[in-house]
Structure 1
């Protein structure tokens, strides 16, 4: 099986601190004052978030602006430079799940709205980056479900295994993660370890739903059955 993990709310909690790297990047590249608090971010790609933040500041079709990609990719570098002032905590139980899946010879990867360097900045400090050689990231598309075939291709390129959609699981903590899995035709495992409640996730009818990672063996059984 191919098991794709979201990052924020599944592997780690969102960075805690006063620094707004979205604001810093937009100020640097566009000279505009923006704030990450102006938009809802849960379950979205960084590309879509950047587009909305710039549109709110009056820029039409910002993704066609030559500064857009630079501002997007700079998020990770700015975040990495501020890591000493931020706190990123692991989600309880998820590292045990990762190791159990590897013991069971499952292939794991990332499917995240974060850009690659932003994902690395978040995961490297807590020791998670070493686990993930496969992934699809949020600079590539506005539409999260389009990342699933990207991750499947990356898995094939790196392992030689052509996974079928029925053999792919997406583990996420948001309504958008569940919708992403459904739109892409893969299985969803929703875990209420993020900002959206168990009840919110339940309404979306994921294939599997857990309150947290306290029963890792049950999740492993779902994937490996």
Structure 2
């Protein structure tokens, strides 16, 4: 039986590019670590490897640089640790200035709603994501989530976030509305893979026209108009 209009709603948010913008830090740190560990130069900002889990990004960079799978796997754990250290060192202590317009106001409104639960599905590796959440003030909104060191695809990421959220909130996934919110085409495709309603926000690298080609259920220019964003997200179910 599908969920009815009075069912709980689980909102699974992406992080970087959706709620805050630290993509430049990710680019610099990933490129530095890949160069140090595998001696592979890469211009991540010129690639299309955006919106996928961070370890998969590293893997694809190495593959493009001709690094054998055995060598990638041998050093991947070390690269993850180095990336965490580099991000912690590089990121400002106060990341409130990286929050995208309307993000905090939207989350404040959603956190007050009955039958609305919040979760996170971020391609950023867990330790780095914890730094981002703590330094930006977002941590209090997301008691549960899935992270980029745990899986190698966006589909697996949102599936893991859904399963963990159901356990955390005591939900039955067949009896709830699920909405994914993100800024990349991969967020739309991943949301669709778990049967979620998909909300896409053109707040980062992809234009509204680019996102529209992937047919999200809702397409927003930003969260700046909080009331419109709120109505669009909750009305999508």
Does the TM-score normalized on the shorter chain lie above 0.5? yes
**Residue 20 of structure 2 is aligned with which of 12, 19, 42?**
12
Structure 1 residues 86 and 33, CA gap change in structure 2 (3 angstroms): farther
2:162 matches 1:162: no
Aligned length: 224
2:204 matches 1:197: no
Contact 2:119/2:161 (8 A) holds in 1 = yes
Which residue does 1:82 correspond to in 2?
90
Match of 2:205, SS? coil
Structure 1 residues 15 and 123, CA gap change in structure 2 (3 angstroms): farther
Structure 1 residues 61 and 128, CA gap change in structure 2 (3 angstroms): same
**Residue 113 of structure 2 is aligned with which of 101, 104, 112?**
104
How far apart in 1 are the matches of 2:19 and 2:160?
Answer: 20
**Residue 122 of structure 1 is aligned with which of 114, 120, 132?**
132
| CA RMSD after TM alignment | 2.5
Match of 1:190, SS? strand
How far apart in 1 are the matches of 2:50 and 2:27?
Answer: 18
CA drift of 1:165 comes to 7.8
Give the TM-score of the pair, scaled to structure 1. Answer: 0.88
Show the 5 A alignment for 1:47-62.
47-61=55-69
How far apart in 2 are the matches of 1:66 and 1:140?
Answer: 17
CA drift of 1:60 comes to 1.9
The gaps in structure 1 that reach 5 residues or longer are none
**Residue 93 of structure 1 is aligned with which of 88, 97, 102?**
102
Contact 1:62/1:68 (8 A) holds in 2 = no
Structure 1 residues 5 and 215, CA gap change in structure 2 (3 angstroms): same
How far apart in 2 are the matches of 1:137 and 1:222?
Answer: 26
The gaps in structure 2 that reach 5 residues or longer are 1-8
Which residue does 2:75 correspond to in 1?
67
CA drift of 1:166 comes to 5.7
2:49 matches 1:41: yes
